[in-house]
Amino acid sequence: MSIEHCKIIELPKIAEPRGNLTFIEGNNHIPFDIRRVYYLYDVPGGSERGGHAHKALSQLIIAMSGSFDVVLDDGGEKKRFHLNRSYQGLYVCPMIWRELDNFSSGSVCMVLASNIYEESDYYRDYEEFM
């Protein structure tokens, strides 16, 4: 896969005076079934997360609160996405190296994943990924 398959997905947003609501349905709003959900929080300023790629896993990365950047790399091209809206998610397809940085204070990053955790699905060394 290449970086051009990765994109911002606009999620449904129901706005009303009492507050907004956004929902996500697997294989409807995103191109995979949701098998795992995890989130990052209390990330110290200046820290980086990620630094890996997945062989088969697809993900949707959402800034639930605050903001952060996601840098994607397919080995030929790099692209930086700034996430700061809870009704937008960044779809990341398999075989894309990702790094998260520039976390704002109090930010929360939620990730929807297409499969359960499997260590064998990870590339944790960039050279091996290449």
Which sequence positions are flagged as catalytic?
52
Cβ burial of 31 (10 Å; 0-12, 13-18, 19+) is middle
Closest CA to 72 of 56, 94, 57, 55: 94
Label residues 56-72 b or e (16+ Cβ within 10 Å = b). ebbbbbbbeebbbbbbb
Question: 56 and 115 in contact (C-beta within 8 Å)?
Answer: yes
Residue 97's identity, in one-letter code, is W
